[in-house]
Chain A
Amino acid sequence: MAERHLVDARGAFCPGPLMELIAALRHAAIGDEVEVWSTDKGSAADIPAWINKVHHDLVSINEADGRWSIVIRKAK
């Protein structure tokens, strides 16, 4: 059964949130979701671009009070 993992990368500067996401994906199973919290403004564009490049799935992206929540499904 697919699981949801949380990566709290608030306060980390580029490319810290991306690296933390990749580390979490390596330990996740295919179909699992990883939710990244980031306060780095670049993450909102960087992480979706990376997901598109390496062919994972973007589930959702939301911002509230300066905190981005980006949910990725591991596709491979």
Chain B
Amino acid sequence: MMAGAPLYILVCSGEHEKLQMAAMLASVGAVSERRVEMFVSMNAILSFTKKASPDQRYRGGVFSQLMKEKHAPDLLTLLRQGKEFGELKIWACSMALDVAGLEMDHLVEELFDGPLGLTKFLSDAEAGQLVTL
């Protein structure tokens, strides 16, 4: 049984620190019996391409470096755990895909539930709590 208002996470930044926090929010929310939906757009979508090197995917500032040195949980692993242990859906912004010339099969596997437009995401998010990173 799902409890609490659904959580909607809008992720635009490609910074490691913000992506990490998005993954933490999404995974912890989902395992806490909240329905969670994450919408990935702008620079963030580039971090989820299959061809992104670790340096591209985990680029950030001082805290990013600390997380790498101390082996903080990997953000892709956290998101996959959120999907496995809870109700987490992850959407790729259709505009971001178009602008970047990406198809769904260019994105890392077993993560995204499909492409989605902002209008639909925003409409759905009226029913819950929206967090933007």
Chain A positions within 8 Å of B, measured between CB atoms, are 12-16, 18-19, 22-23, 26, 50, 53-54
Query: Is B24 touching A50 in the complex (CB atoms < 8 A)?
Result: no
| Interface residue B78 (Cβ < 8 Å from any Cβ of A) | yes
Interface size (B, Cβ < 8 Å)?
15
- Of the candidates B3, B31, B32, B72, the one whose C-beta lies within 8 Å of that of A13 is B72
Alpha-carbon separation in the docked complex, A14 to B67 (Å)? 11
Chain B residues closer than 8 Å to A50, beta-carbon distance:
31-32
- Of the candidates A13, A23, A26, A54, the one whose C-beta lies within 8 Å of that of B73 is A13
Chain B positions within 8 Å of A, measured between CB atoms, are 3, 24, 27-28, 31-33, 67, 70-73, 78, 81, 85
Query: Is A19 touching B70 in the complex (CB atoms < 8 A)?
Result: no
Chain B residues closer than 8 Å to A54, beta-carbon distance:
31-33
**What are 30 residue pairs bridging A and B, where the CB atoms are less than 8 Å apart in the complex?**
A12-B73, A13-B67, A13-B70, A13-B71, A13-B72, A13-B73, A14-B24, A15-B24, A15-B27, A15-B73, A15-B78, A16-B73, A18-B28, A19-B27, A19-B31, A19-B73, A19-B81, A22-B31, A22-B81, A22-B85, A23-B81, A23-B85, A26-B85, A50-B31, A50-B32, A53-B3, A53-B32, A53-B33, A54-B32, A54-B33
